[in-house]
Structure formats: C-alpha cells, structure tokens
Amino acid sequence: MSNTTTLTGNLTKDPEIRYTRDGQAALTLGMAVNRRWQNRDSHEWEETTSFFDVVCWREMAENAAMSLTKGVRVVVTGRLEQRIWENEDGERRVKVEIVADEIGPSLRWATAEVSKVDRADVVGETAGLASNA
C-alpha cells in the first residue's frame, strides 16, 4: 500500500523554520487548496478550500525558507503522517500533516529562477562552526 499524495495550493503564511537540538532544520508551511466545480442542479460554480500543514526537513527546509513566501503557489508531494498527543488538560489531540518529499513553485501562473545550492560550501561552513564550538 502506498501513502503518497500531491497537493497544489497557495501558502497561507510565511514558512517557519526552526532547528532541533542537534541542528537539524525543520520547516512548517500552511497551505490552502481550492476546489471548484459546477453544481449539476443549479449550474452555478461552487468552491471549497481545504487547509493543510506541511513539514519538511534538512536541506529542503532551508531551501524552502529562503525561496517561499506567503501567497506563493506551490506543488507538494509527500506522505500523510498522523500525530497523536495529549494536551495539558489530558485531552487527546490528533493532527494529520504532509511530510514533504518534494516542494516546488507552481509554474502555471508564475515563473521561477532556480539556483543550485553548492552543498560542499554548506558542509564546509558547518564543519567550521563545529570546530569553533
């Protein structure tokens, strides 16, 4: 069984990046996906919007933080992941997120400029920071 989904929609807020204790980048994105259809009875157009949280990690998180802003139309491919926890009042909470495998700008109504990141430079900078610590 496969757990892969692809969504196209607009970012509802600027990406939020944070770092784990061991320095791993994690990014969260809010995404709105619109669906439009024509009502068979009234022949009028109807629309609904679904909201999703997207999470990405490591280099992709850093690249997305530098590249994406609120309102940008993106294409996200990833897996659905469910988190379950209890809040401070002991109530059970459930959340389904998309853990991204790929994120890119949608080129349907926009253009994009792609710049490849030289990972050797990034690794060298990280090593220099670790040796100075």
CA-derived radius of gyration, the chain: 19
Q: Enumerate the domain spans of the chain.
A: 5-132
Is the confidence at residue 122, as pLDDT, over 90? Answer: no
Structure confidence at residue 51 (pLDDT): 95
What's the average model confidence in pLDDT over 102-108? 91
Closest C-alpha among 52, 48, 47, 46 to residue 11: 52
List, for residues 2-56, the tens digit of each pLDDT value. 789 999 999 999 999 999 999 999 999 999 999 988 989 998 999 999 999 999 9
Distance CA(64)–CA(113), nearest Å, equals 13
Distance CA(73)–CA(67), nearest Å, equals 12
Q: Within 10 Å of residue 7's Cβ, how many Cβ atoms?
A: 17
Structure confidence at residue 131 (pLDDT): 45
Tokens coding 67: 């590249």
Task: Grade residue 130 by pLDDT with cuts at 50, 70 and 90.
Answer: very low
**Helix, strand, coil tally for the chain in percent (to 5):** 20, 50, 30
Higher pLDDT among residues 109 and 59, named by residue: 59
Which CATH superfamily includes the segment(s) 5-132?
Nucleic acid-binding proteins (2.40.50.140)
Structure confidence at residue 49 (pLDDT): 95
Distance CA(96)–CA(7), nearest Å, equals 14
